[in-house]
C-alpha cells in the first residue's frame, strides 16, 4: 500500500542516517581518540551497537498491531468491518476519495420510468418492457436490473396482454457475460417462431462480432 511504502521509505532513511553515524563514530574513536591503536575491537563494537539500535526492525510489526486495533475499533464503534488491512492503509493515505454512487452511497434499488422509454418505429413502449422481461431471469431476485425490469412489466397491463395473446414462452436464458456485456434470451410464440432477444450495452447488442 501507499502507506506501507512511506513507512519503508522512513525506515530506509533512518538506516542511512545510522550508517552515517556509525562512520562518524568510527572516525572519532579511531582517529581523534586513537581508538584503533588502543582497542580497535571496542571501537567497532560501539559503532555496531549504534547501528543495530537505530534499525527499526519492529516497526512493521508495531504498525500491523496498531492497524488491527484500529480495525477492531471501527467495527465496535462505527460498525465498519475492515476486510483488508492494506485497504485501510490506502484510505488513511487519501486526501480525496472518488466513489461510484450506485450501490455504494445508495441502496442499489433501480426502477424503470415507462414514460422515458425510447422506442423505434413499429414498436410501442410496452413491447420494450415485454421483450426485456422475456430476456430477464425471474429466479435472480438479487439482480437489480432484472428485478427492476420485471417489476415494471408487472405494472404494464398492455404488455401482459400481448404476452397472453402471443403466448410467448421463455425457452432459455444466457446470463450476463462481462466480456460481451449482454444477456440473451430465447423465446417461442404460439406460431412456433423462435425469437432471440438481447439486453445489455447497446453497442454490444448491435455488434455481435465479439461473440
Residue with cell 562518524: 24
Per-residue b/e over 135-164, b at no fewer than 16 CB within 10 Å? bbbeeeeebebbbbbbebbeebeebbebbe
Annotation says 100 is catalytic: yes
* Beta carbons within 8 Å of 157's beta carbon, 6+ residues apart: none
**Are the CB atoms for 134 and 170 separated by under 8 Å?**
yes
**Are the CB atoms for 116 and 128 separated by under 8 Å?**
no
**Are the CB atoms for 93 and 1 separated by under 8 Å?**
yes
- Which pairing describes strands 169-177 and 194-200: parallel, antiparallel, or unpaired? unpaired
- Which pairing describes strands 182-188 and 169-177: parallel, antiparallel, or unpaired? antiparallel
**Are the CB atoms for 152 and 130 separated by under 8 Å?**
no
Which among 34, 38, 39, 100 is annotated as catalytic? 100
Q: Annotated catalytic sites, by residue? A: 100
Amino acid at each position: 500500500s501507499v502507506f506501507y511504502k512511506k513507512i519503508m521509505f522512513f525506515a530506509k532513511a533512518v538506516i542511512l542516517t545510522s550508517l552515517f553515524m556509525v562512520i562518524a563514530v568510527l572516525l572519532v574513536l579511531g582517529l581523534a581518540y586513537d581508538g584503533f591503536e588502543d582497542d580497535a575491537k571496542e571501537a567497532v563494537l560501539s559503532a555496531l551497537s549504534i547501528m543495530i539500535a537505530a534499525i527499526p526492525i519492529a516497526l512493521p510489526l508495531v504498525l500491523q498491531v496498531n492497524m488491527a486495533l484500529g480495525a477492531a475499533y471501527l467495527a465496535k464503534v462505527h460498525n465498519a468491518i475492515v476486510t483488508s488491512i492494506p485497504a485501510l492503509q490506502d484510505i488513511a493515505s487519501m486526501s480525496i476519495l472518488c466513489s461510484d454512487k450506485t450501490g455504494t452511497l445508495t441502496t442499489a434499488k433501480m426502477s424503470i420510468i415507462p414514460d422515458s422509454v425510447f422506442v423505434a418505429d413499429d414498436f410501442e413502449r410496452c413491447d420494450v418492457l415485454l421483450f426485456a422481461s422475456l430476456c430477464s431471469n425471474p429466479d435472480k431476485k438479487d439482480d437489480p436490473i432484472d428485478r427492476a425490469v420485471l417489476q415494471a412489466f408487472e405494472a404494464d397491463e398492455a404488455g401482459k396482454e400481448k404476452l397472453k395473446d402471443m403466448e410467448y414462452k421463455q425457452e432459455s436464458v444466457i446470463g450476463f457475460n462481462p466480456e460481451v456485456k449482454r444477456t440473451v434470451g430465447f423465446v417461442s410464440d404460439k406460431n412456433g417462431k423462435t425469437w432471440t432477444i438481447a439486453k445489455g450495452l447497446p453497442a454490444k447488442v448491435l455488434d455481435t462480432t465479439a461473440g
